[in-house]
Amino acid sequence: MIKNYYYLVAGILAIIFSIALAWNGQTHILPTLNVDKISAETKSIFFYVWHINTAENMLFGVAFIFMSVHKDLSKVRFTAWIIAILMLVRGIVMVGGTLLYRTEGLKTVWVDSIVFILYTGLILLGISVKDRIINK
């Protein structure tokens, strides 16, 4: 039985984000590194750094789906807070890194920024759900 629909939606979205990130990386981003000027070591580092986020998103998704059916929501709230904070830090790094290297690049990360804000908001809504006590 689903105890927290916000967590369920957050979990499904995180899995979708993970699949989209892997696909986008493999088909659009990582192939651009196939130039002679970039060493194999640099390509390898870029590959695993990219897919660390893919794996994290998949793990977050699985965690939120399990958390959505957990009997005692107060026991999983801390995990949701940690993931929400990680998402906030990811967003800050993304925007900060873009500003550091090219301020005009903010136009390219506005969609990602909105997704980060909405996703984190969804998690915070899930955190605010109180356990329902059903008296028989």
Q: Quick one: average pLDDT of 115-134? A: 85
What pLDDT is recorded for position 83? Answer: 97
- CA 132 vs. chain centroid, Å, equals 28
Tell me the H-state helices in 69-135.
77-101, 106-128
What pLDDT is recorded for position 54? Answer: 94
Q: Quick one: average pLDDT of 6-30? A: 94
Rounded Cα–Cα distance for residues 20 and 14 (Å): 10
What pLDDT is recorded for position 136? Answer: 37
Q: Quick one: average pLDDT of 48-59? A: 93
pLDDT in tens, 95-124: 898 888 887 878 888 888 899 999 999 999
DSSP conformational letter for 26: I
Domain positions in the chain are: 5-128
Nearest to 4 by CA among 91, 52, 65: 65
pTM for the predicted model, two decimal places: 0.86
